């Protein structure tokens, strides 16, 4: 429990670093919110006046402190470009992105774990060779390429869903999930292949170890050994890997959201960055970062349960 508490404290620390980094980033990149808001109406005088009105002329740390205070009192600020409270703006998108990445993650786990275990048990042979080739091929295909092909096949050709007509999650949950499913598939395919491959090599690596060989030579059932000993040890890198996958799903969902015209956080983030809409970017960065860091933390906690030697920084 002490470890868990420590890990959660680290999570909070990471979040603070991330939000501060985002603030510093805005100070470094070219273009500022005032020019973005004024567009082609901008003149140096107007920009200076607007900067003052927005309080952008104050020191970085003052602004960060103000933001942090607002954050903890539940006030995410007002979007510079949409001029509406940031939370109202992004709340529906948080749900969409959560569903998309959740669905993708589920797809990856459900498909890749059985496939990976099976492929670990068979080595050599034509079938294994073919499987490995397909696997490598799946890894090589860019998600948005799969995205185009999938939406062309299922929307233009088969008409299973209407491209560009994403139903509201709150009004038509089933329809929305169906729509998201195709996007999730495009995201999942290369990662399924990657997970299968890594599961296979980890399990096989473990099977080569002396204790397994001994167990098998003593006449234990191969499958039994696999599930009782090997899986446990092989699970550690897999869990870490899946947490990593979560982070990558979030990162690459931006592309797929665009290909499928899904109104999610990823696209929102890109546009807000271009608009230099800092309050919105800051909020999205914190939400996405929390999601990613949480996945990492959970993975660490699980791994530590499985293999206490990994109690990093602890007594070991």
Partner 1 sequence: MKKAKLNGYLKAGLILTAILTVLIILGFFWTPYDPEAMMTGPKLQGPTWQHLMGTDKFGRDIFSRVLRGAGSTFTIAASVVAIGAVCGTAVGALTGYFGGMVDETLMRLNDALTAFPSILLALVIISILGPGKKYNVIVALGLVFIPSFARVTRTAFAALRDVNYVKSVRLMGASNGRILLVHILPNTMSVLLPAITIGFNNAVLAEASMSFLGIGVTPPDASLGYMLSEAQGMFVAAPWYALGTGITIVLLVFGVGLIGEGLQRRNGEVA
Partner 2 sequence: MKKRLTAFLLLAALLCAALTGCGGGSTEQTPAEKEPSTPDAPVANEITVGIAQDLDDSLDPHKTVKAGTREVMFNVFEGLVKPTPDGDLTPAVAENYTVSEDRLTYTFTLREGVKFHNGDTVTAEDVVYSINRCAAATETGIVQVEAFSVIQNIAAADERTVTITIAEPSNEFLSYLTVAVLPSDYDKQDTAPIGTGPFKFVSRAAQDSMVLEKFDEYWGTPANLDKVTLKIIENADSLMMSLQSGAIDLCSHLTSTQVAQLGDDFNVAEGTMNLVQAMYLNNAEKPFDDVRVRQALCYAVDKQAIIDIAFDGYGSPIGSSMYPAFGKYFDDSLTNYYTKDVDKAKALLADAGYPNGFEMTITVPSNYKPHMDTAEVLVQQLAEIGVKATIQPIEWESWVSDVYVGRQFQSTVVGVDASTMTARALLERFTSTYGKNFINYNSADYDALFQQVLSSSDDAEQTSLYKQMEQNLTENAANVYIQDLADLVAVRKGLEGVTFYPIYVLDLATIRYAK
Pick one of 148, 261, 298, 301: the residue that binds partner 1 (CB under 8 A): 148
Alpha helices in the chain (DSSP H): 2-28, 33-38, 44-54, 60-72, 86-121, 125-140, 143-151, 173-207, 210-217, 222-225, 231-259, 265-275, 278-306
From CA 236, how far away is CA 299, in angstroms rounded? 9
Q: List Cα–Cα distances, 209 to 123, 204, 218, 290, in angstroms.
A: 16, 9, 14, 38
What's the min distance (Å) between Cβ of 6 and partner 1? 10
DSSP string, 290-302: HHHHHHHHHHHHH
58 binding partner (options partner 1, partner 2, none; Cβ < 5 to 8 Å by kind): none
Nearer to partner 1, 209 or 222 (CB): 209
102 binding partner (options partner 2, partner 1, none; Cβ < 5 to 8 Å by kind): partner 2
292 binding partner (options partner 2, partner 1, none; Cβ < 5 to 8 Å by kind): partner 1
What's the min distance (Å) between Cβ of 291 and partner 2? 17
For the record, the structure tokens of 63 come out as 């602004």
Q: Which of 22, 214, 201 is nearest to 120 (CA)?
A: 201
What's the min distance (Å) between Cβ of 270 and partner 1? 6
Q: List Cα–Cα distances, 223 to 132, 197, 207, 228, 238, in angstroms.
A: 22, 19, 11, 9, 19
Task: Give bridge partners of residue 85 from the DSSP assignment.
Answer: 78
- Residues in 180-209 that interact with partner 1 by CB under 8 A: 190, 194, 197-198, 201-202, 204-205, 208
Pick one of 142, 164, 223, 224: the residue that binds partner 1 (CB under 8 A): 142
In degrees, to the nearest 5, what angle opens at C-alpha 59 toward C-alphas 56 and 276? 35
Pick one of 75, 81, 220, 240: the residue that binds partner 1 (CB under 8 A): 240
Contact footprint for partner 1 (CB under 8 A): 10, 13-14, 17-18, 21-22, 25, 28-30, 124, 129, 132, 136-137, 139-145, 148, 152, 156, 190, 194, 197-198, 201-202, 204-205, 208, 236-237, 240-241, 244, 247-248, 251-252, 255, 259, 269-270, 273, 281, 284-285, 288-290, 292-293, 296, 303, 307, 309-310, 312-313, 316
């Amino acid at each position: 429990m002490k470890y868990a508490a420590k890990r959660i404290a680290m999570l909070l620390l990471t979040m603070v670093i991330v939000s501060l980094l985002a603030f510093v980033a805005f100070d470094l990149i070219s273009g500022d919110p005032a020019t973005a808001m004024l567009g082609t109406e901008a003149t140096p005088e107007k920009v200076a006046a607007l900067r003052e009105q927005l309080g952008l002329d104050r020191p970085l740390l003052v602004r960060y402190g103000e933001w942090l205070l607002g954050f903890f009192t539940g006030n995410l600020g007002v979007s510079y470009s949409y001029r509406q409270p940031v939370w109202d703006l992004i709340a529906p998108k948080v749900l969409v992105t959560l569903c998309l990445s959740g669905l993708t993650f589920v797809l990856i786990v459900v498909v890749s774990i059985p496939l990976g275990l099976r492929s670990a048990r068979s080595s050599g042979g034509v079938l294994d060779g073919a499987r490995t080739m397909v696997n490598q091929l799946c890894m090589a295909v860019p998600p948005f390429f799969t995205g185009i092909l999938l939406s062309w096949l299922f929307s233009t050709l088969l008409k299973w869903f209407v491209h560009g007509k994403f139903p509201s999650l709150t009004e038509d949950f089933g329809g929305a999930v169906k729509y998201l499913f195709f996007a999730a598939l495009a995201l999942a395919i290369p990662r399924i292949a990657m997970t299968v491959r890594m599961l296979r090599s980890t399990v096989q690596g473990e099977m080569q170890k002396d204790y397994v060989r001994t167990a098998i030579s003593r006449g234990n059932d191969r499958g039994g050994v696999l599930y009782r000993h090997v899986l446990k040890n092989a699970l550690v890198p897999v869990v870490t890997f899946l947490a990593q996958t979560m982070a990558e799903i979030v990162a690459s969902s931006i592309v797929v959201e665009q290909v499928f015209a899904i109104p999610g956080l990823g696209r929102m983030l890109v546009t807000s960055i271009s608009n230099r809409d800092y309050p919105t970017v800051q909020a999205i960065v914190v939400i996405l970062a929390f999601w990613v860091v949480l996945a990492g933390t959970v993975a660490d906690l699980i791994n530590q349960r499985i293999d206490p030697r990994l109690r990093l920084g602890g007594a070991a």
